Structure 1
Amino acid sequence: MDKWLRNNNVVKGIALVIGILLWVVVHLDVQTTSSGNTGSTLRNQTISNVSIVAKYDQELYSLRSIQPAEVTVVLSGRSDAVRKVDTAKIRVELDLTQMKSGVHSLPVKVIGAPSTVTAEATPAFVRAELEEMQMKQVPVTINVAGTPAEGYKAGQPVVKPTRVQVTVPESQINAVESARGEVSVDKANGAVTKQVKLVAYDKNGKKIDGVINPQVVDVEVPITSPLKAMPLQVKFVGRPAQGFSVASVTKPEQVTVFGPQDILDKMEFYDGLQIDLNGLKEDRSLSVDVPLKKGVTRVDPAKAEIKIAVVPSATKVVEKVPITLIGQSEGYTAKLISPEGSQLAVTVEGAPALLDKLKPQDIQAVVDVTNAASGTQELPITLNLPPFLMQAAQQPALKAVVEITANQPSKPVTGGESTETPTAPPAGGSGSPTPSPTPVPSPTASSGTATITPTQSKSSESSGAPAGGDGKKTN
């Protein structure tokens, strides 16, 4: 060994090998260090305007405010780790689950960053105010929109339930007034039934964000044609069997008629229902369809329940029935010659109960002088009797003697005092005075004569009575 070490060539060879080894070691360490330094380089990444998500019991509380509502998040770590972070998954939470109502200052927490990266929020603390939720019961209001089909009307909506509960923050509880919804009845010709979603409103008609229970209600809007209540008139024709009379009739007093408004406006009563009394000897109960007149869509009730009471007839003589003259032509005077006193006795047949109530003024005795010639004429007397009463068969035909004379024109008296009342001449000119017509006396029961004015009077007819007592003329 000593010999080798003393040999210069050997020493040079060893030195060369050591030098090569040192060169290799040095270069390998530099490359390793360089590679390690590249992966361990630190990096920061800033994420701005990250919204804070508050966690709290939303059934009991409302988040009234949070300041600030957004924070800045800074990610720190090795470059390769920071680059791999999905910033869309980064979120910031504020835990208020253990807090009561009031203002709280709490730290925020960054969620979504991997463990190899440090995430910090700026600011780290925020102020949040929780408000207690309160409940209020309010009425449901339904707005009916649109126009129904022609001739129809929308009625009041029927809502189930009529009241709901609205839950809002305590500061808004006094402002809540109603829960509203809307139903369209446009072009509808029948009832509209819908489920309607409700929205809470305040006293000023502004929407309020709140929880409504139930939020959906059942609504029905009735659609009807215009209606009008009016009396029902029933016409009775014929007469009961001989020896019997109608004592009373029970029927609906009025009906409700549905149809276009212009048709209803022209109707004061509803008629068209006719009952035949021919041959009746006993009580009768009928259920009769009420006919639909032109333009009428519905009548309520659709059937009329009618009860007719029939009893044996009785007779009654009614004295001092006044006689009325009608139909006098202008320029003629009619004077009743007989019966004397312008009165007559009438024998009436009917139910005993109706006869007991009958008075002379309930009977109209009419003499029609229309188209009668001048002179003394014998004319028939027509009787108008209350319903279900008739002139007794045993009474002979009633006649009246009437004297008809033409009125004489008035002549001025010369050289003497005039009996006529002059009228003033027209203003600004002269003219002969115009005589006023001689007053015509009205008929009186006690004078024995009756004089009528030129205006024709009408005899009243009782609607809904049988022959002889239904408003038809009986001679």
Structure 2
Amino acid sequence: MDRFMNNRWFMRIIALLLALMLYMSVYIQEQKEQSDGSLTLPLFDDSTEILEDIPVEVLYDQERFVVTGVPQSVDVRLEGPTSKVKTIIALRNIKVYANLENKSEGNYLVTLEYENVDDKVNVTFEPTSRYEVALHEKVTQEFAIKVDYNESLVTEGYTVENLVPEPTIVSITGAKEEVERTAIVRAYIDLQDVIDDVTLESSVTVHDKDGQPLNVEVEPANISVGVSIISPNKVVPLNFIEEGTLQGIYIKNIEMVPDKVTVYGPKNVIDSITKDDVIDIPIDLNSITKDEEIIIPIKLPEGATKIDPVEVKVAIDVEEEVTETFIDIPIVSEGLGEGLALSFSDLENGALDITVTGRKSSIENISNSNIKVTIDVANLPVGDFEVPVEVSILNEEGIEPVDISLEIPIENVKVNISGIE
């Protein structure tokens, strides 16, 4: 076989035979088309085919007008020589159009036209080739978007706090009559199973006042919607807890801002929070040396998903520790029996110096008159005794000062009880 293929005379004969076959094919086809149909070779019969859903192009001034009444597509019936019909079917390059060029606003009866079809092929359109169409004035207006959702699909206990479309305004372009009917421009979002803040995508739809969709263009056709979701929540008070000790100072005042937070979480967790529950804020006293303001993060309660705010500002006012000695506070005896006299064995003037240490604000309101030093000699007979000393202090308002300590030079005094002659 390779020997024949390499023989140039063999190849020339093959080429000649192919040329003769092509010539005969064309000749027979032309004879058939010119004859009364007596040639009936199946290969060259007429045939009928239908091309479905061929797009219809409309030629018009798209800057000025919007067209209505032209179908988006039609079915095309092709009748003619089989070879030519099959070629059109295979290439599917037929162009169908409605010519409204150089037309002004108004109504027209237009006949569909076509291109890229051999003259020997008959073309018809289904359901029809003639349509009543209209050119409308083209307008563009801007409208605000309304975001809708199905409230029944929102997870129980959760609340939609805010919906923010981006952008908030869209451009509506179409026939003037259609645009003027615009009543609702909205984007629908599905919030089923949404329990956290999220951004969703949505297409924009346009409707008239009766809810019927309008044949207009929207720019942009799709938008994003930021969704803020509030989970079940409760407001819980804050309670500060002092940890550690202060050295040489006292806390005068502690103020927390805020004094309560909102706790968010699943419904069962939030329902378990009672009115008596608080969130403890630990304050490390070891690090406090002066007035200062500190920021303390708030620990998220177990099972909760979020708190607001997440930290608390604590303003701490302190005051210094002072020491003051009050001189010659007289000792008062209580319960001395009738007909008896008392004298001090080791105190010439029957008085003591009392040293008080504590917060400055407490000591500033103390004077000698506020300090009472007493001994209890009730039921003691004549003789020498050692009696415990008791000291009490009340400030000017008659209230015992807080955060003070006393230093008494002696715990007991020696007294002599004698009869009165």
TM-score normalised according to structure 1 size: 0.47
* Structure 2 partner of 1:390: 402
Contact 2:170 2:219 in 1 (8 A): yes
* Structure 2 partner of 1:29: none
Contact 1:227 1:264 in 2 (8 A): no
Distance in 1, Cα, partners of 2:299 & 2:123? 88
* Structure 1 partner of 2:251: 246
Change (3 A) 1:266 1:168: farther
Residues 1:56 and 2:59 are matched in the alignment = yes
Contact 1:150 1:187 in 2 (8 A): no
Distance in 2, Cα, partners of 1:38 & 1:238? 112
Give the gaps of 5 or more residues in structure 2.
1-29, 38-45, 324-355, 366-396, 409-421
| Superposition deviation, residue 95 in structure 1 | 0.6
Distance in 2, Cα, partners of 1:64 & 1:158? 35
Change (3 A) 1:303 1:192: closer
Larger Rg: 1
Q: Pick one of 234, 237, 240 that aligns with 1:234.
A: 240
Contact 2:232 2:264 in 1 (8 A): yes
Q: Which letter does structure 2 place at the counterpart of 1:94?
A: A
* Structure 1 partner of 2:98: 94
Distance in 2, Cα, partners of 1:278 & 1:74? 97
Residues 1:212 and 2:232 are matched in the alignment = no
Change (3 A) 1:269 1:351: farther
| Superposition deviation, residue 278 in structure 1 | 7.2
Contact 1:138 1:177 in 2 (8 A): no
Q: Which letter does structure 1 place at the counterpart of 2:216?
A: G
Residues 1:135 and 2:108 are matched in the alignment = no
Q: Pick one of 262, 269, 273 that aligns with 2:281.
A: 273
Contact 2:78 2:121 in 1 (8 A): no
Residues 1:300 and 2:308 are matched in the alignment = yes
Q: Which letter does structure 2 place at the counterpart of 1:311?
A: E
SS in 2 for 1:222: strand
Contact 1:74 1:121 in 2 (8 A): no
Deviations 1:258-301 (A, max 9, x none): 23454377347743224355796533444333233444333333
Q: Which letter does structure 2 place at the counterpart of 1:98?
A: N
Q: Which letter does structure 2 place at the counterpart of 1:129?
A: A
Q: Which letter does structure 1 place at the counterpart of 2:219?
A: N
Change (3 A) 1:60 1:226: farther
Q: Which letter does structure 2 place at the counterpart of 1:104?
A: Y
Distance in 2, Cα, partners of 1:234 & 1:38? 105
Contact 1:314 1:352 in 2 (8 A): no
Q: Which letter does structure 2 place at the counterpart of 1:55?
A: V
Deviations 1:370-418 (A, max 9, x none): xxxxxxxxxxxxxxx9xxx72755699xxxxxxxxxxxxxxxxxxxxxx
Q: Which letter does structure 1 place at the counterpart of 2:179?
A: I
Matches within 5 A, 1:298-337: 298-312=306-320
* Structure 2 partner of 1:471: none
SS in 2 for 1:198: strand
| Superposition deviation, residue 177 in structure 1 | 3.3
Distance in 1, Cα, partners of 2:33 & 2:156? 85
* Structure 1 partner of 2:339: none
Distance in 1, Cα, partners of 2:111 & 2:233? 70
SS in 1 for 2:177: helix
* Structure 2 partner of 1:439: none
Distance in 1, Cα, partners of 2:277 & 2:225? 35
Matches within 5 A, 1:156-235: 156-235=162-241
Deviations 1:32-64 (A, max 9, x none): xxx98993449x99999x999462345543223
SS in 1 for 2:193: coil
Deviations 1:98-127 (A, max 9, x none): 212212355654545533467799999765
| Superposition deviation, residue 130 in structure 1 | 0.9
Change (3 A) 1:186 1:117: closer
* Structure 2 partner of 1:429: none
Distance in 2, Cα, partners of 1:72 & 1:239? 95
* Structure 2 partner of 1:39: 34
Distance in 2, Cα, partners of 1:166 & 1:119? 38
Q: Which letter does structure 2 place at the counterpart of 1:305?
A: K
| Superposition deviation, residue 173 in structure 1 | 1.0
Q: Which letter does structure 2 place at the counterpart of 1:39?
A: Q
Change (3 A) 1:133 1:265: farther
Aligned length: 293
Q: Percent identity?
A: 19
SS in 2 for 1:171: helix
| Superposition deviation, residue 96 in structure 1 | 0.3
SS in 1 for 2:202: strand
Change (3 A) 1:351 1:299: farther
